[in-house]
Every structure is written in C-alpha cells, then in structure tokens.
Amino acid sequence: MQPHQGLPQPQRTWAILTVFCGLIMAVLDGSIANIALPSISRQLGAEPASTIWVVNAYQLTVTVCLLPLSSLGDILGYKRVYRAGLATFLVGSLLCALSVNLPMLVAARVLQGIGGAGIMSVNTALVRFIYPPTRLGRGIGLNALVVGVTIAVGPSLGALILALASWQWLFAVNVPVAIFALALSRSALPETPPQPRDFDYPSAALSAVVFGLFILSVDGMGHAGMRAAGVAGLAGAVVLGWLLVRRQHGRTAPLVPVDLFASRAFTLAVGTSFCSFMTQMLAFIALPFYLEYQLGRSLQETGLLITPWPLMVAVMAAVSGRLSDRYPASILAGIGLALLASGLLGLALLGRDAASLDIAWRMAMCGLGFGLFQSPNNRAMIGATPPERSGGASGAQATTRLLGQTTGTAVVALLFSLDQTGAARIALYVAMTMATLGAVISLSRLRDGSSARQAAGAVEPDA
C-alpha cells in the first residue's frame, strides 16, 4: 500500500501505539518534574531557584529543536528522525535517573529535550502516513486525546510515583517504555520518501537563537527586575527572526516553513492555534489562584473543580476528530473557541458565594470548547500542506503550541507582578479575549468556500 493511503491493519494499530508511547513520554516529561523540584533541591543540595532549570532546560531545548528536526524529517524520512528521538530520549532519561548533582541533571534534561523534540517534530507527520486520508481526522483526534489525558493525569501520576519512590523514578519509568517503543517502531512505522536536499545548518543555528531568545525574553518580562532586559531581548529576537525569514524566502523547502504560509488555510490555522494555547496556559496558571484567593476554595476543592476541564478535552478530542473528517475546521474550531470564551467569561464573573456546581459546569464548558477546537484545527493545518512538507507542518504545529503556552505563562507572570490582588481574574478576562480572537480568526476561513473546504481537509467518509 502506498504511504499516502495509510497502513493496513494490524500494522496501523501497532504504528499508532508506537507513536503514542513516544508522545506520552515527551508530553509528560514537560511537566512531571515540577512536582519533584523540592525533593531534587534537598537531595542534590541545590538552591530552589536553580532547580527551576530542571524544567526550563527541557522546555527550551524542545522548542529550539522542533523546526530543525522537522526539516530533517522531511530530508531523511520521519521514521528515522522519530526513532533517533526515541533513542536519545531513552539515554537522556537514564542519565536523569543516574544524576548525582544539578549540573548533570540539567545536562541530561537537555539531551532528553533533544529526544523529545525529535519525537514531537514528526509526530503528526507520521499520523498522516499511518491513516488513510478519509480517516486522518480520527488519527489526529486520538493524538489530541492522548495529549489531553497525559496532561490531566500528569500531576497525579507524578505525586503517586513520589509517594512510592524517589524522584529518580520519574525519569527511570521512561526507560522500559522507550525500549518497547523502539523495538516496535522498527517494523510498525511507515517508511516515508526522503527529500533529496541538503540540511540548512546556518538557518538551524539562527532558528535556535531566535526561539531561545524569544522564550527567555518573554519569560524575563514577567519579572520586575528583568523587564528591561526582556524587552531588549524580545526586540533582538524580532530582528533576528526577520533576518531568518528573509533567508528562507525563495527556498524550495525552507527550514522555517515560510512557504506553507502562502496557504491561507495554514496561516489562519496557525493563528487560531497560537491564540488557543495562549488562552489555555493563561487559564491553567490563573485558575488555582483564582479559586483559592478569589472564591475561597481549599487546595483539595480547587483540584477537583479544575478536573472537568481536562476530562472534557479528553472526551471531546476523539469525537471532534471524527467530526473533522466530515465538517469544515473553520466552523468546528470557531464554535469550540466561542464556547471556551463563554466558559472563561462565566468563571471570571463568579462571586465568592458561587456554588461548586456553577464552577464545575463552566470548567466543563471550557474543556468542551477546547476539545472541539483542537483536532479539527490540527487537521486543517496538516491538510493544507502537501505530503512531502508534512514534517514542516508538524514542526510548525508543535512550535506554535509551545510559543502560545510560553507567551500565556509570561502574561500571567506580568499581571501578578503588576497587581497581585486582582491578577487572576484579569488573566481570565485576557484569556477570554484571546479565545474570542481565535474564534474570529477561525470563522474568517468561511469567507470563501474553497478556503473553508481546504481548511477542513474534508473528504467523503469511507463507504
């Protein structure tokens, strides 16, 4: 069977299982270490502020490596990059578990981040070749389902591991999973045709500088003492980014996929995605403070009241994936973000005497909206690109998600540094505004029928 027609059963099942194993590890390790920072600080004798780099090193490395590795996936084949990412992640996880001091742990996290970037950079591209075109939405929906469930259970899983064992086991548990995925991937994953061209090393280096500088600068703007440096760094990132984009113009398959932005469907899908993930991070960080300080809930109540959001995302992800095989992404994603904005507005308007049920159903509405948006928009982003540029689209998708989340985190930090009393409620209003903007961008794809059809990537379902 040709790659663009998907894989036959049962190979398709084994292939998607391999992809999910890597995705779960890469997503989980982006946040699971947060809960262990106090333990790491005590055992390694490190300053608490310094241990933040256990988290930052991984996130920063993943972000700066995504586009170069997605380009490498186009050149070498997505299977080779994915398997190399798995192997690197395996070694990095093992070194994390064996670390005896903070510098060794941070270095191991950098290596783990390179592996995580290899996994995530070609993840969606592989899904495109695993499923036939008529079932692509289902595959992307299952992808979103795995991410949603992983994010939802991550803190609880981390707490469970720490209750039973030391922090080293947070990383050691990856080793058998990675070995299993590597062994399975050899025969299960599809072989995709490589693109005969040279890798653009200067652009890869410049891309790493641009995204690294952007993330560090945006993070710095959230801290009073680093605000001026953050603004200067952000200006530098913009200038270097402009030079990077200029360098990419005219290339057949540029490392930074500027060629894909010639497609209106792709451009609007990227814009919608950035707004949505910025919204998600604004809300996720602000809500615990809002529920505890503004609405007077306990820590345990706060955890339970937030739960409907990720649960509804997980439920809706697979459903919206199937819907995206039949209906335009512009409509599904637009409705989803409108529901998300409505839920956030409802939460922001609550008073201190609000009942738990009033909070819970608004959380569920937010999760329903985000879950309805995610799969169709991701399908539109991938469907608007030619198969040979699936790596570039996959890398752009993951990079947009991380940049949106990073920006949302920085905005919350900035709001808290300016006004601690009302910052959480203001953050919810900002999140609502970004969700509304995303809905407007998504629905603008309806301005012409061809764009809407292309954005949906809609095809006739299987007989």
pLDDT digits (tens, 9 = 90+) for 234-253: 899 889 988 888 888 777 77
Q: What are phi and psi for residue 91, nearest 5 degrees? A: -65, -45
Number of Cβ within 10 Å of residue 127's Cβ equals 27
The string of DSSP letters for 270-337 reads: HHHHHHHHHHHHHHHHHHHHIIIIIS---HHHHHHHHTHHHHHHHHHHHHHHHHHTTS-HHHHHHHHH
Burial bucket for residue 96 (CB in 10 Å: 0-12, 13-18, 19+)? buried
Pick one of 3.90.1150.10, 1.20.1250.20, 3.30.70.1230, 2.60.40.1180 as the CATH number of 256-457.
Answer: 1.20.1250.20
pTM of the model: 0.77
E strand or H helix at 458: none
CA pair distance 78, 127, nearest whole angstrom: 10
pLDDT digits (tens, 9 = 90+) for 343-369: 999 999 998 888 999 999 999 999 999
Judged against a pLDDT cut of 90, whether residue 141 lies above it is answered with no
pLDDT band at 452 (very low <50, low <70, confident <90, very high): very low
* Average pLDDT over every residue of 165-180: 91
Burial 224-236, CB ≥16 within 10 A → b, else e? eeeeeebeebbee
Q: How far is CA 218 from CA 227, 231, 285, in A?
A: 9, 8, 16
In the chain, the largest separation of any two C-alpha atoms, in whole Å, equals 64
Q: What is the pLDDT of residue 152?
A: 67
pLDDT digits (tens, 9 = 90+) for 359-413: 999 999 999 999 888 888 888 887 777 777 777 787 888 888 888 887 887 788 7
Please say whether the beta carbons of 94 and 169 come within 8 A.
no
* Average pLDDT over every residue of 58-74: 87
> Which of 71-75, 407-411, 428-432 tops mean pLDDT?
428-432
> What is the CATH topology of the domain spanning 1-190?
Growth Hormone; Chain: A; (1.20.1250)
pLDDT digits (tens, 9 = 90+) for 24-38: 898 888 777 777 777
CA pair distance 255, 93, nearest whole angstrom: 28
Domain range list for the chain: 1-190, 201-250, 256-457
Whether 1-190 shares its CATH topology with 256-457 is answered: yes
pLDDT band at 293 (very low <50, low <70, confident <90, very high): confident
Q: What is the pLDDT of residue 450?
A: 40
